[in-house]
């Protein structure tokens, strides 16, 4: 991003005169003064704290201008302040203006599972032939999406935008903001079922990603999901499907899994072997979604394979980490839901190990009234013959603990902790794990298993 304050003021229709600062250049946007770079436009948002309280800090840290809500009086007159009705709405309006100015191809990705991995794989595939910007970390909501757009370089030719949602209307707004050339739905699971009640309603909400899809755009979706196939009948744009069933436009053949990568071929190019440095056969679907996006945007098969083989992956999504005792840790601590946990447990079962398989699971959040049933349902995937030790964290995991006991899982190998006992959990794990063990860490981010990961991997001084 590189825009003068005068251009920004015109784009978002500011209410005050910014002539004295009109020629100053803004090179980024930020809503957190701790992560602000010199040259930034600061966006004071209303959350737990009012962002206007931090405007002075923003300027001290290098901001060159700030938005300012008109209902906050008095308005500072000695700094580059851009007065608007609503800073968040102004941020979104500015991002749409900048998107049209740069005019890249836009790929929008959503789904109950796999959207971050699919974003990374898609960006890697497209990077073989385009200058690409992609969503950073978890910047996938009403704030993060416009920040992603505004932090594009001027030479960006394609932008890959991850879109999350936890309520109806959210994807509608984001899709209309970015107007994608290609929209992707990875799958429908139980994530956020607390807010939607049923998978049918989750599917309805996911389909909102098509509301801003360009008339000549394409929807790429998981054709193995009946809930999507039924709803796609109402979409007028082109559609492409991926999955395991032969009726899909793209389906996998000859899938081989290893402890650090997966290999597969597909029906369209049976002589090309695709290799992805990820664990879990479920990631084949994410890779196929990326392949279809690349194919739609004219990436050659040779470059599709090269892009999948060397992605830059977002941290803490099924990432292998070395523990300080020599154990291998599969860190997946950013997000969790029943489908994702079942998939990773099935993957863990197939991994060859010289020591033990140890599982650490934290609460899966936002499951509402279904939480006890969905947590207890994981017991069917935790066989003591495959998993030597199970560590459970959080109040919701009590349902799984009770079910495992009912199933006869040895109580000496079950360990339970409240969410505020992470230090004790880390200490117990450090005392338990051996060099040949393989440890899985998976929980919703609100449980903060990344703090346990840090204590398992930090070397003693």
pLDDT at 318 over 80: no
* pLDDT at 192 (0 to 100): 66
Residue found under tokens 């405007």? 55
Model confidence band, residue 67 (pLDDT cutoffs 50, 70, 90): very high
Whole-angstrom CA distances from 236 to 45, 186, 276, 289, 399 are: 37, 19, 33, 20, 45
What distance in Å separates the CA atoms of residue 121 and residue 54, rounded to the nearest whole number? 37
pLDDT digits (tens, 9 = 90+) for 137-155: 889 999 999 999 999 999 9
Give me the percent of the chain exceeding a pLDDT of 70: 98
Instruction: Name the more confident of 421 and 319.
Output: 421
Model confidence band, residue 177 (pLDDT cutoffs 50, 70, 90): very high
* pLDDT at 194 (0 to 100): 67
- DSSP secondary structure, 215-250, as one string: TT-EEEEETT-HHHHHHHTT--SEEEEEESSTTSSE
What distance in Å separates the CA atoms of residue 379 and residue 106, rounded to the nearest whole number? 41
pLDDT digits (tens, 9 = 90+) for 330-346: 998 888 889 889 989 99
pLDDT at 166 over 90: no
Residue 166, preceding peptide bond in cis (omega within 30° of 0): no
* pLDDT at 249 (0 to 100): 98
* pLDDT at 269 (0 to 100): 97
The rounded Cα 112 to chain-centroid distance in angstroms is 10
pLDDT digits (tens, 9 = 90+) for 95-112: 999 999 999 999 999 998
Neighbours of 217 (CB within 10 A): 21
Beta bridge partners of 12: none
pLDDT at 383 over 90: yes
* pLDDT at 461 (0 to 100): 38
pLDDT at 195 over 80: no
pLDDT at 460 over 80: no
pLDDT digits (tens, 9 = 90+) for 108-128: 999 988 999 999 999 999 999
Averaged pLDDT for residues 19-47 = 94
Averaged pLDDT for residues 418-438 = 96
Is the pTM higher than 0.85? The answer reads yes
Averaged pLDDT for residues 318-330 = 90
Domains of the chain plus CATH, in order, are 3-85 (3.40.1390.10), 104-309 (3.40.1190.10), 319-457 (3.90.190.20)
pLDDT at 279 over 90: no
Q: What is the DSSP letter of 315?
A: T
Q: What is the mean pLDDT of the chain?
A: 94
* pLDDT at 319 (0 to 100): 82
């Amino acid at each position: 991003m590189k825009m003068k304050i005068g251009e920004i003021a015109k784009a978002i229709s500011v209410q005050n005169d910014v002539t004295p600062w009109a020629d100053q250049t803004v090179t980024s946007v930020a809503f957190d003064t701790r992560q602000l770079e010199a040259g930034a436009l600061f966006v004071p948002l209303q959350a737990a704290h009012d962002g206007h309280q931090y405007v002075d800090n923003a300027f001290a840290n290098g901001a060159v201008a700030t938005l300012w809500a008109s209902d906050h009086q008095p308005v500072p007159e000695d700094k580059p302040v851009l007065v608007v009705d609503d800073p968040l709405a102004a941020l979104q309006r500015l991002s749409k203006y900048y998107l049209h100015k740069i005019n890249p191809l836009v790929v929008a990705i959503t789904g109950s599972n796999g959207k971050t991995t699919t974003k990374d794989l898609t960006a890697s595939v497209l990077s073989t032939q385009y200058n690409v910007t992609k969503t950073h970390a978890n910047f996938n909501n009403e704030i993060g999406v416009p920040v992603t757009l505004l932090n594009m370089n001027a030479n960006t030719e394609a932008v890959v935008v991850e879109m999350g949602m936890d309520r109806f209307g959210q994807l509608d707004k984001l899709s209309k903001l970015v107007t994608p050339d290609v929209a992707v739905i990875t799958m429908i699971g139980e994530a956020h079922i607390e807010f939607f009640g049923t998978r049918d309603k989750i599917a309805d909400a996911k389909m909102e990603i098509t509301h801003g899809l360009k008339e000549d755009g394409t929807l790429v979706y998981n054709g193995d999901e009946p809930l999507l196939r039924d709803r796609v009948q109402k979409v007028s744009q082109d559609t492409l499907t991926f999955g395991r069933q032969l009726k899909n436009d793209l389906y996998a053949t000859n899938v081989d899994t290893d402890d650090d990568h997966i290999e597969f071929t597909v029906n369209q190019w049976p002589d090309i072997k695709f290799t992805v440095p990820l664990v879990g056969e479920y990631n084949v679907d994410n890779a196929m979604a990326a392949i279809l996006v690349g194919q739609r945007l004219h990436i050659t098969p040779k470059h599709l394979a090269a892009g999948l083989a060397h992605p830059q992956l977002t941290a803490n999504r099924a990432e292998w980490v070395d523990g300080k005792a020599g154990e291998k840790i599969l860190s997946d601590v950013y997000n969790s839901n029943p489908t994702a946990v079942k998939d990773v447990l099935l993957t863990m079962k197939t991994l060859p190990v010289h020591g033990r398989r140890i599982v650490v699971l934290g609460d899966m959040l936002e499951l509402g009234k279904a939480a006890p049933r969905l947590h207890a349902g994981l017991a069917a995937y935790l066989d003591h013959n495959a998993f030597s030790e199970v560590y459970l964290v959080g109040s919701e995991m009590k349902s799984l603990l009770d079910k495992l006991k009912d199933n006869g899982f040895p109580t000496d190998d079950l360990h339970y902790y409240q969410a505020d006992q992470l230090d004790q959990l880390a200490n117990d794990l450090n005392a338990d794990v051996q060099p040949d063990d393989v440890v899985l860490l998976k929980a919703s981010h609100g449980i903060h298993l990344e703090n346990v990961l840090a204590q398992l991997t930090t070397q003693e001084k």
